[in-house]
Amino acid sequence: MKKIIWLLLPAMLLCAACRSGKSGTKGKKDPTTPTATVATSSPTPTPTTTPSSKQDKEDPDLSKMNIPVGSNFTSKVRVTITQNGKEITTNGSLRMRYDDVIQITLVDPLLGIAEVGRVELSPENVLIIDRMNKRYVSTSYDEFSALKSRNIDFRTIQAFFWQEARNGDKFAYTIPAKNDIKLHLTLSNKGNASNWNAHTQVSGKYTKTDANKLFSSMIPQ
C-alpha cells in the first residue's frame, strides 16, 4: 500500500507533463506574464474527459489564459490511481497561486486525516514530499529528465492545472509508462482562499532522494 500511495504523488505531476507536452514549446516562446483582464470564477462542470490524440490537437494555447498574477484557486481533490491491477483512492487538496505555486496534498486513505504526501511546484523548483517514508525530491525542471525531455516547465504545468480546474470537475487520464497508470481526479468545494502556506519547508528529518530514479520506474525517460 505504501508503494502505490507514493505513486500518487509523481502520477499527478506526470499527468500534467503528458497532457501539456504538446503546448510546452509555445509556453517557452511566450514568457510574457498574463495581464488581469478577467476575474477567475468557478466553471460550469463538464463530463469526464479522457484525453486522446484527437483532443490534444484541438487543445487551446494554454499559455494565453488571462489570469491576474497572484490569483488563488483552492479545491478538495479525490484521486484514484490504478496500476498493475492495483487500485487505491484517497483525498486531498489542490491549491494554486498564479505565477507563484501549485500545491497538491494527499491524506491517508484509511484514516483520511494525516497528510501522506505533497507535490509543490514553483517557477524554479519541483518539490515532492513522501511523509510516510520521510523522504523528498527537490530539483529544478532542467535537472528533471522526465520534464526536460518534453520541454515542460512551470508555465506549461501551471497552464494545464488552471485550464482543467476552470473547465471541469472530473478528469480521467492514462499515463503511458512501462505499466500504464490510470488516473482519475474529482474536484469539489472550489474557492479562492488565500490564507494558506504557499511554500513548504522540509524538515531535517527527511532524506533527499533522486527524482529521475523515482520516475524511471513509471515512465520512459
Can you give the residue range of the structural domain that contains 16? 2-197
Residue 89 lies in a domain: yes
Measure the CA–CA gap between 221 and 68, rounded to whole angstroms. Answer: 34
Measure the CA–CA gap between 160 and 165, rounded to whole angstroms. Answer: 9
Measure the CA–CA gap between 40 and 141, rounded to whole angstroms. Answer: 28
Given this model, what pLDDT does residue 23 score?
45
Given this model, what pLDDT does residue 2 score?
52
Helix axis angle, 2-20 relative to 154-167, nearest 10°? 100
* CB atoms near residue 59 (< 10 Å): 14
What are phi and psi for residue 163, nearest 5 degrees? -65, -45
Count of the separate structural domains present in the chain: 1
Residue 135 lies in a domain: yes
| C-alpha cell of residue 129 | 514530499
Query: pLDDT tens track of the chain, all 221 residues?
Result: 555 555 666 667 767 666 655 444 344 444 333 332 233 333 333 333 334 333 443 444 555 568 899 999 999 999 888 878 888 888 999 999 999 999 999 888 777 678 888 999 999 999 989 888 888 999 999 988 877 877 888 998 898 889 888 888 988 888 776 777 788 889 999 999 999 999 999 999 999 988 877 666 554 44
Residue 31 lies in a domain: yes
Residue 209 lies in a domain: no
Please compute, for residue 175, the number of CA atoms within 13 A of its CA located in the half-sphere on the CB side: 30
User: Hey, which residues does 176 pair with through a beta bridge?
Assistant: none
Residue 208 lies in a domain: no
185 and 113 in contact (C-beta within 8 Å)?
A: no
Residue 19 lies in a domain: yes
**CATH number of residue 40's parent domain:** 2.50.20
E-assigned strand segments in the chain: 72-83, 86-97, 101-107, 115-121, 126-130, 135-139, 170-175, 181-191, 207-208
Given this model, what pLDDT does residue 81 score?
84
